[in-house]
């Protein structure tokens, strides 16, 4: 059974975003699946056990991505500009290759990212334009 995905945005004003149907898989399971893509490094992960709040950051080929559950479905977005269609398509293809048998793994997943920081390093966010450095305030 293939998972359902929908592309959102992908303009200069909005980042490339992939929406994954929440029925299968869960966000933690999908993050584990993405981490198996050669070159993916998960740099931050936070999720709360009794809510549907989930947020994770990963780097792939030097670009920062965020995976989150802003509503019901999982969103995977490329952070910052310029948009890179070919790179985003690689991540999208890997997400779509998810096998449903992996849904049996959730009992093991809390341990996989137990020591991963909640937030990505500030330098990484600055590098990808996700945070704007405030002025120094020294009046230079």
Per DSSP, 82 falls in state: S
| Predicted confidence (pLDDT) per residue in 51-64, tens digit | 568 899 999 999 99
Count of CA atoms in the C-beta half-sphere (13 A) of 90: 13
Q: How far apart are CA 119 and CA 130, in angstroms?
A: 12
pLDDT-wise least confident of 3-12, 31-40, 131-140: 131-140
Question: The tokens of 31 are what?
Answer: 């993050």
Question: The tokens of 52 are what?
Answer: 């549907």
| CA dist list (Å): 2 to 12, 94, 99, 101 | 30, 12, 7, 11
| Predicted confidence (pLDDT) per residue in 16-33, tens digit | 889 998 666 678 888 888
Query: What's the pLDDT score for residue 135?
Result: 59
What value does the mean pLDDT take over residues 36-47? 91
Domains of the chain with CATH codes: 5-127 (3.30.310)
User: Confidence band (pLDDT; 50, 70, 90) for 76?
Assistant: very high
Average per-residue pLDDT for the chain: 80
What value does the mean pLDDT take over residues 31-55? 83
Query: At a CB cut-off of 8 Å and minimum separation 6, what does 49 contact?
Result: none
The pTM assigned to this predicted structure is 0.75
Query: What's the pLDDT score for residue 6?
Result: 86
Closest to 40 (Cα-Cα) out of 77, 98, 91, 106: 91
């Amino acid at each position: 059974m293939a998972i359902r995905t929908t592309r959102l945005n992908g303009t200069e004003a909005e980042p490339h975003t992939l929406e994954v149907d929440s029925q299968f898989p869960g966000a933690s399971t999908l993050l584990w699946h993405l981490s198996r893509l050669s070159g993916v490094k998960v740099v931050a992960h936070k999720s709360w056990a009794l809510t549907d709040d989930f947020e994770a950051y990963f780097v792939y080929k030097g670009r920062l991505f965020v995976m989150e559950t802003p509503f019901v479905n999982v969103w995977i977005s490329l952070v910052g500009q310029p948009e890179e269609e070919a790179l985003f398509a690689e991540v999208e293809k890997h997400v779509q290759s998810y096998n449903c048998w992996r849904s049996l793994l959730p009992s093991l997943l809390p341990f996989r990212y137990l020591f991963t920081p909640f937030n990505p390093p500030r330098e990484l966010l600055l590098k990808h334009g996700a945070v704007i450095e405030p002025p120094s305030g020294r009046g230079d």
